[in-house]
Amino acid sequence: MTPSARLQATLELLCEIATKPRPADGLVSAYFHARRYIGSHDRAVISSRLYQILRHQARLDWWLTQKKTEATPRSRTIVWLVLGERVASKSLESLFGEGPYAAPSLEDAERKMIRSLEGHTIEDPAMEEAVLAECPPALVSSLKMKFGAQFLTELRAMQEPAPLDLRINPLKTTRDAILATLKEKGIKAEAGKLSPWCVRAFERPSLNALAMLKEGLVEIQDEGSQLVSAVVEAAPGNRVVDFCAGAGGKTLALAAMMNNKGRIVACDVSKGRLKRSSERFRRAGVFNVETKVLSSERDVWVKKHKESFDKVLVDAPCSGTGTWRRNPDARWRELGPGLEALTEMQARILENAARLVKSKGRLVYATCSLLPQENENQIDAFLKKHDDFVLTPCGLNGADFLALTPAEHGTDGFFAAALLRR
Nearest CA to 158 out of 420, 419, 406 is that of 406
Nearest CA to 158 out of 368, 375, 14, 372 is that of 368
Give yes or no for a contact between 287 and 200, defined as CB atoms under 8 angstroms apart. Answer: no
Residues in the chain: 422
E strand residue ranges, 95-225: 164-168, 189-191, 198-201, 218-220
Any idea what DSSP says for residue 262?
S
Sign of CA dihedral 127, 90, 17, 328: negative
Give yes or no for a contact between 379 and 365, defined as CB atoms under 8 angstroms apart. Answer: yes
Please list the residues that pair with 403 across neighbouring strands. Answer: 415
267 an active-site residue?
no
The continuous run of DSSP H or E covering 312 comes out as strand 309-315
d(CA 406, CA 142): 17
The continuous run of DSSP H or E covering 291 comes out as strand 289-293
Give yes or no for a contact between 264 and 242, defined as CB atoms under 8 angstroms apart. Answer: yes
Residue 213 burial (CB < 10 Å; 0-12/13-18/19+)? middle
Supply φ then ψ for residue 217, to 5 degrees: -80, -30
Residue 68 burial (CB < 10 Å; 0-12/13-18/19+)? exposed
Give yes or no for a contact between 420 and 390, defined as CB atoms under 8 angstroms apart. Answer: yes
Helix 223-231 with 249-257: angle, nearest 10 deg: 50
Any idea what DSSP says for residue 405?
-
Which of the following is catalytic: 135, 198, 267, 368?
Answer: 368
A 10 A CB-CB count for 397 gives: 5
Q: Are strands 402-404 and 309-315 parallel, antiparallel or unpaired?
A: unpaired
Q: Which residues are catalytic?
A: 368
